[in-house]
Structure 1
């Protein structure tokens, strides 16, 4: 009961933050103008195709995760693994960053395998995702350098960021942490908590290093690239659903996708607010008006997250059903 209350409070806090950021981004827009923009016509077949691309990326992620798990545990059932992935995405919409733990917990429950090792494999996945995002960002910087520099110069205050690294108090905090670690290092190393953490770290390391033992590394790389191509298509195909974005190039789609992905880093449900801001701002670079960009961001974000909510609920319903005989 206590855990339920804590999670409810977390959900409400993050939802409040996300709602505030959404209001902050859209506060200057006339919602009637956005509605008029949408009333000109939206081809929802392209939006549906975007959702299909999203599902394809999630299925590919399922197979890639199986490939990481198999060397350290066993080959998991594709249905359990896919539904666990979808539950993870759904959980991230409830409490940001909870999805990674949630999908490990779900798969551990139904496959009877170590949740700690699973967490190690998820960390590997996230590191790979960071590398792929950086590669995509590099492509944008190379191919759209002038456009991106113009965007950053108008939307980022570099001086405030640099102040964090040059502040006296930053170094004081770092020094304080180092002193505390040195003082309590020996006593902590003899405690029961240390040996518990050491045991968990061993299992975590097995999961983290699983990538070395993957049999078909070529297939693993294929799925990694495929996932990110589908991520890109989730945004780009939506361009054809709106008259004002239908003529934009794939490079514009890449820029919107990458800069929008940076907005997803914010710890709010589905990047609510920051993602919209980044997408609207990046579309502005290509001559799309703020009202049109706001309408585009609203429809695309809502449809993709509606798909995650639907699949998350379906997964929660079907998981105990398909595993009933095993139970």
Structure 2
């Protein structure tokens, strides 16, 4: 009971944090102006294009996940896998990082695949996604270094957070102490029942991590990895054409906005609410877009993206039991 209460409180805390960030971004804005711009000054055709690109990225993620699962001796159905992915996105809007666990649970249930092995494949996915984000970050740093400096100068608290990622001497010493403790007491640790159980789980987990090595079609995996992030970027870029105040901006300006917004998504709040808005608005400011216009842009881009994930996620939750009952 106590553990459930703690989990619920964490969910509420993360959600509250997102709402606070969202409120801080929008508290001083002219709501009537936002409504007017959204009603009269938006070319919504590009929103539909954006949503289509988003669906293509989710389909590509589905196909890439199937490529990773095949070395485990299973070939899950595309529809079940796609619906599991969409349920994962929905759950991320409820509890940060819960989506990865949720989609593994869904696919394990309907395709009879080891849950632990599936988690291993998803961890591998996340490693690849981090690599892709870092590559894009390097591209932005090289091509838009002056703009990034301006962004950090405008937001010193963000710069401080990036600085906090660096390890201190005490961090290194603490890590070294843990490693030495495990080394000297390794014989006793290995004999413990808890470690034996953990070892069994890690073996299954390791099988999931090795899927890239045992994959038959590695080129398809690489192409899907690139395509997913290309669609993510284009999904945001086409929204620039919805407004006169962003339509003239170059693709690299959109890439910078996308990368900074992606770091906002890493924040421990549901769907990056508030944090994503802040990063995108501040990125647009360094390219000459007023804060008032950036607020409208972020609201529309994030709102439509989130709405699609909610609709598709709910459809997936309802469809999965029905489709699999029919299949049997």
Sort the TM-score into its range (normalised by shorter chain).
over 0.9
C-alpha distance in structure 2 between counterparts of 1:217 and 1:23, whole Å: 45
Q: Is the 8 A contact 1:88 1:101 kept in 2?
A: yes
- 1:150 is displaced (CA, Å) by 1.5
Q: Report the counterpart of residue 297 of structure 2 in structure 1.
A: 296
C-alpha distance in structure 1 between counterparts of 2:225 and 2:161, whole Å: 35
- 1:218 is displaced (CA, Å) by 1.3
Moved more, 5-14 or 128-137: 5-14
C-alpha distance in structure 1 between counterparts of 2:78 and 2:226, whole Å: 20
Moved more, 253-262 or 36-45: 36-45
Q: Report the counterpart of residue 200 of structure 2 in structure 1.
A: 199
Q: Report the counterpart of residue 124 of structure 1 in structure 2.
A: 124
C-alpha distance in structure 2 between counterparts of 1:163 and 1:93, whole Å: 26
Change in Cα spacing, 1:44 to 1:205, as seen in structure 2 (3 Å) is same
Change in Cα spacing, 1:166 to 1:240, as seen in structure 2 (3 Å) is closer
Q: Secondary structure at the match of 1:60?
A: helix
C-alpha distance in structure 2 between counterparts of 1:163 and 1:310, whole Å: 37
Q: Does 1:280 align with 2:290?
A: no
Two-structure CA RMSD over aligned residues (Å): 2.3
Q: Report the counterpart of residue 146 of structure 1 in structure 2.
A: 146
Gapped regions of structure 1 (runs ≥ 5): none
C-alpha distance in structure 2 between counterparts of 1:199 and 1:86, whole Å: 30
Q: Report the counterpart of residue 37 of structure 1 in structure 2.
A: 37
- 1:245 is displaced (CA, Å) by 1.0
Give 1:251-270 correspondences, 5 Å limit. Answer: 251-270=252-271
C-alpha distance in structure 1 between counterparts of 2:229 and 2:119, whole Å: 21
The TM-score, its normalising length taken from structure 2, stands at: 0.92
C-alpha distance in structure 2 between counterparts of 1:251 and 1:168, whole Å: 37
C-alpha distance in structure 2 between counterparts of 1:319 and 1:4, whole Å: 26
Q: Is the 8 A contact 1:164 1:170 kept in 2?
A: no
C-alpha distance in structure 2 between counterparts of 1:104 and 1:217, whole Å: 22
> Deviation per CA, 1:6-48, whole angstroms, max 9, x where unpaired?
5543322211111111112223323233334334411222111
> Deviation per CA, 1:258-312, whole angstroms, max 9, x where unpaired?
1100111101011111110110001111111001000110111011011001111
Change in Cα spacing, 1:146 to 1:113, as seen in structure 2 (3 Å) is same
Give 1:302-317 correspondences, 5 Å limit. Answer: 302-317=303-318
C-alpha distance in structure 2 between counterparts of 1:164 and 1:58, whole Å: 30
- 1:243 is displaced (CA, Å) by 1.8
Give 1:201-220 correspondences, 5 Å limit. Answer: 201-220=202-221
Q: Does 1:53 align with 2:72?
A: no
> Deviation per CA, 1:91-123, whole angstroms, max 9, x where unpaired?
100000011111001100001110111111111
Q: Report the counterpart of residue 234 of structure 1 in structure 2.
A: 235
C-alpha distance in structure 2 between counterparts of 1:5 and 1:323, whole Å: 33
> Deviation per CA, 1:53-110, whole angstroms, max 9, x where unpaired?
1110000000000000001131110011001100111110000001111100110000
Q: Report the counterpart of residue 135 of structure 2 in structure 1.
A: 135
C-alpha distance in structure 1 between counterparts of 2:162 and 2:219, whole Å: 40
Q: Is the 8 A contact 1:73 1:113 kept in 2?
A: no
Q: Report the counterpart of residue 65 of structure 1 in structure 2.
A: 65
